[in-house]
Amino acid sequence: MPLPSNFNTLVERINQELNNLDHELYQAIELIRERLILFPGNIISMQLFVTLNNYALFTENTKRRIQEILKYLAVNETLSDRDIQEAGEDLSEQLGRILEAKIIVNNIKIRLEN
């Protein structure tokens, strides 16, 4: 069974949001590194650094997970409606988590810039 057209739109949106999250993470990590150099014993800065690195790990894991879902869908020629629905739900859930992570990372970045 072929994938619905909105499935590709969802995957494109996820990739775009992941790229945006990567960009935000890079900027925020650079800002926190500068703070850690200036104030190496600052506990809050260390916590923020760890949090940002956890989100970087989350981003990489999410990319891998999405690739595995897409590979599964590409390899299986006999996909049922249920398989496609479950994959779509999983991808939609991942998009929600990505957007949540993006909000948190953006808030941290704003705090660091101020």
Q: How confident is the model at residue 97 (pLDDT cuts 50, 70, 90)?
A: very high
- Of the two residues 24 and 8, the one the predictor is more confident about is 24
CA dist 78 and 114 (Å) reads 54
CA dist 61 and 63 (Å) reads 5
Please, what's the b/e burial string for 28-56 (b: 16 or more CB within 10 A of its CB; e: otherwise)? bbebbeebeeeeeeeeebeebbeebeebb
Express each pLDDT in 25-61 by its tens digit. Answer: 999 999 999 999 999 899 999 999 999 999 999 999 9
- Please state, for a pLDDT cut of 90, what percent of the chain lies above it: 72
